[in-house]
Amino acid sequence: MEIPYTTTVRPDTGVYNAKLGVWLFLASEVMLFGGLFSAYIFLRVGAPEWPGMIAGHMFERSSDILNVPIGTFNTMVLIASSVTMVLSWASLMMKNFSKYKLYMGLTILFGFIFLIVKAFEYSDKFSHHFYPSESAFLAIYFTLTGLHGLHVIGGIIVNLYFWGPGSKMWKTQPKRFTNRIEIAGLYWHFVDIVWIFLFPTIYLL
Amino acid sequence: MSETTDHEHVKKHVRVYIIVFAALAALTIVTVAIAYLELSIVPAIMVALFIAIVKGSLVAGYFMHLISEKKVIISILIVAGVFLIVLFVLTISSYHDQDRSSLVP
């Protein structure tokens, strides 16, 4: 059986089906992260000090615990990966498959760099015995950045598939493959937007 | 749309993507620089949130093509946005529901 509306638009919605599906999924993701952001606000408003006492030390600012330059670097990495992602789709639109491979490869590389930097940040926290159980600040920090990190891992897996074995579809159904990259991009950009809000909320405020 | 005009169309888009990238990078530097000014909490939140909303809108508008997207997608996002606001309001308004006198030393 052939899947309907993978390349042509569905007359009643005006978009191809997968795009509508991914946007519905992203709407549910808004609620997932929204719930955690509201938990952050709730914890923060109720705390007499923020970040407050952690492992016997008093911290008056988030930047006393978290490394702002490293967070800034990771923000830049994720923004760069969003640009290379959209350029990989644009390359397919311009029928340039080798450029697609280059930009998608860069997107995956930036995703890995982001995760490696995050892993260093986590191990630094753990080496100081800063665990989620230590304080409300660390609990929400690890929950939000951890869930975001899982999303980055998920995105890398999908992108790796489309960079490697999945890219065979370009030869048989180029339009359908281009659409796949567009919607994989929608997800990846969403993960970028979440970080754009996470970074100032957790690191800077 | 013919193939050549399609090609030209995307080429124009690529220039926009690069400009948006530069804007996002610049705004990231601005938001970090402002954080170092150590403003008091309310203006600090306002400024950081404003910059984050601008950056998020740039990504959603240009990279996710929302500025030229179909009505059905926009409607889904409006519904999600409304529910998100309801979620925030419910959570924050429940703050006064509990007896906090036992929590604060």
Q: For chain A, what is the HEC assignment? A: CCCCCCCCCCCCCCCCHHHHHHHHHHHHHHHHHHHHHHHHHHHHHHCCCCCEEECCEEECCHHHCCCHHHHHHHHHHHHHHHHHHHHHHHHHHCCCHHHHHHHHHHHHHHHHHHHHHHHHHHHHHHHCCCCHHHCHHHHHHHHHHHHHHHHHHHHHHHHHHHHCHHHHHHHHCHHHHHHHHHHHHHHHHHHHHHHHHHHHHHHHC
The CATH number of whichever domain residue A101 belongs to comes to 1.20.120.80
Q: How far is B54 from chain A (nearest CA, A)?
A: 10
Split into its structural domains, chain B has a count of: 2
Task: Tell me, yes or no, whether B39 and B78 share the same domain.
Answer: no
Q: Residue A137 has what pLDDT?
A: 95
Query: Is position B102 within any domain?
Result: no
Task: Tell me, yes or no, whether B6 and B50 share the same domain.
Answer: yes
Task: Tell me, yes or no, whether B40 and B5 share the same domain.
Answer: yes
Task: Tell me, yes or no, whether B4 and B27 share the same domain.
Answer: yes
Task: Tell me, yes or no, whether B55 and B75 share the same domain.
Answer: no
Query: Is position A23 within any domain?
Result: no
**Angle (deg, nearest 10), helices A68-93 and A174-198:** 160
Q: Residue A160 has what pLDDT?
A: 98
Distance between CA A103 and CA A97 in Å, rounded?
A: 10
Task: Tell me, yes or no, whether B83 and B41 share the same domain.
Answer: no
B1, pLDDT greater than 60: no
Segment A57-64 shows an average pLDDT of: 90
Query: Is position A79 within any domain?
Result: yes
Interchain contact, B52 vs A82, CB within 8 Å: no
Interchain contact, A30 vs B84, CB within 8 Å: yes
Domain that holds residue A179: 68-204
Residue in this structure with the two tokens 């030209």, named with its chain if needed: B8
Distance between CA B18 and CA A145 in Å, rounded?
A: 27
Residue B102 pLDDT class (50, 70, 90 cuts): low
Query: Is position B90 within any domain?
Result: yes
Q: Residue B56 has what pLDDT?
A: 97
Task: Tell me, yes or no, whether B6 and B38 share the same domain.
Answer: yes
Task: Tell me, yes or no, whether B51 and B19 share the same domain.
Answer: yes
Q: Residue B3 has what pLDDT?
A: 59
**What was the ipTM of the complex prediction?**
0.94
Query: Is position A45 within any domain?
Result: no
Residues of B within 8 A of A34 (CB-CB) are: 83-84, 87-88
Query: Is position B49 within any domain?
Result: yes
**pLDDT tens digit sequence for B65-101:** 999 999 999 999 999 999 999 999 998 888 777 666 6
Q: Please classify residue A97 by burial: count the beta carbons closer than 10 Å to its beta carbon, then call 0-12 exposed, 13-18 middle and 19+ buried.
A: middle
Interchain contact, A197 vs B104, CB within 8 Å: no
Q: How far is A41 from chain B (nearest CA, A)?
A: 8
Query: Is position B104 within any domain?
Result: no
Minimal-distance CA residue of chain A relative to B24: A79
Q: Residue B38 has what pLDDT?
A: 84
Q: Residue B92 has what pLDDT?
A: 85
Task: Tell me, yes or no, whether B12 and B60 share the same domain.
Answer: yes
How far CA A189 is from CA of A2, A6, A21, B55, B64, in Å, comes to: 29, 21, 16, 12, 7
Residue A180 pLDDT class (50, 70, 90 cuts): very high
Query: Is position A56 within any domain?
Result: no
Domain that holds residue B85: 70-96
**pLDDT tens digit sequence for B30-48:** 999 999 998 888 899 999 9
Q: How far is A10 from chain B (nearest CA, A)?
A: 11
Query: Is position B17 within any domain?
Result: yes
Query: Is position A123 within any domain?
Result: yes
Q: What is the CA radius of gyration of chain A?
A: 20
Residue among A23, A35, A85 whose CB faces B76 most closely? A23
Task: Tell me, yes or no, whether B13 and B49 share the same domain.
Answer: yes
Split into its structural domains, chain A has a count of: 1
The two three-digit tokens of residue A30, written as one number: 């808004």
B10, pLDDT greater than 80: yes
Residue among B48, B73, B94 whose CB faces A205 most closely? B48
